[in-house]
Chains A and B, each alone.
Chain A
Amino acid sequence: MAEAPVIISEVHYERLKYILARLCVECAARAVFLVDRDGQPITHHGEIGDMDTTSFSSLAAGNVAATSSMARLIGEDEFPAVVHEGEKESIFISVIGRSLLVVVFDQRSTLGLVKLRTKKASFEVSSVFDEVIRDSGALHGTANSFFAEITDEDIDSLFS
Chain B
Amino acid sequence: MTFINYASREINCKIVYYGPGLCGKTTNLQYIYDSTAPQAKGKLISLATETERTLFFDFMPLELGTVRGFKTRFHLYTVPGQVYYDASRKLILKGVDGVVFVADSQEERMDANIESLYNLEENLEAQGFDLMKIPYVLQLNKRDLPNVIPSQELTGELLRKDEPVYEAVATSGDGVFDTLKAVAKQVLTELRRG
Binding site for B on A (CB under 8 A): 1-10, 13-14, 36-42, 52, 54-55, 58-59, 62, 65-66, 69, 139-140, 143-144, 146-150, 154-159
Contacts and interface: CB of A to CB of B under 8 A. Distances in A.
A149 to B, nearest CB: 6
Q: Which 7 A-B pairs have the closest CB atoms?
A: A38-B95, A13-B7, A144-B194, A3-B1, A5-B2, A54-B61, A65-B91
Interface string B54-93: 0011010100110110001101010000000001100110
Contacts of B194: 140, 143-144, 147-148
B120 to A, nearest CB: 15
B12 interface: yes
A3 B93 CA distance: 12
B147 interface: no
Contacts of B59: 39, 55, 58-59, 62
Contacts of A4: 1
Given A7-B6, A40-B14, A2 B190 contact: yes
Contacts of A37: 94-95
30 contacts: A5-B2, A6-B2, A6-B4, A8-B5, A9-B6, A10-B6, A36-B3, A36-B95, A38-B1, A38-B94, A39-B14, A39-B75, A39-B95, A40-B14, A40-B75, A41-B12, A42-B5, A54-B75, A55-B59, A59-B59, A62-B57, A62-B92, A65-B94, A69-B91, A144-B194, A147-B191, A148-B194, A155-B184, A157-B65, A159-B177
A39 B60 CA distance: 12
Contact of B98 (A2, A5, A42, A58): A2
Interface in B113-164: 128-129, 133-135
A69 B87 contact: yes
A158 B1 contact: no
Main secondary structure, interface of B, reads mixed
B34 to A, nearest CB: 17
Contact of A6 (B3, B87, B185): B3
Contacts of A66: 56, 88, 91
A74 to B, nearest CB: 14
A36 B97 CA distance: 14
A155 B94 contact: no
B100 interface: no
Nearest to B2: A5
A69 B184 CA distance: 30
A34 B14 CA distance: 18
Contacts of A158: 64-65, 67, 72, 184
B45 A55 contact: yes
Contact of A8 (B6, B64, B181): B6
A2 B2 contact: yes
Given A38-B14, A40-B14, A140-B194, A159 B2 contact: no
A86 to B, nearest CB: 18
A9 B194 CA distance: 18
Contacts of B64: 158-159
Contacts of A9: 6-7
Nearest to A144: B194
B96 A8 contact: no
B185 A2 contact: no
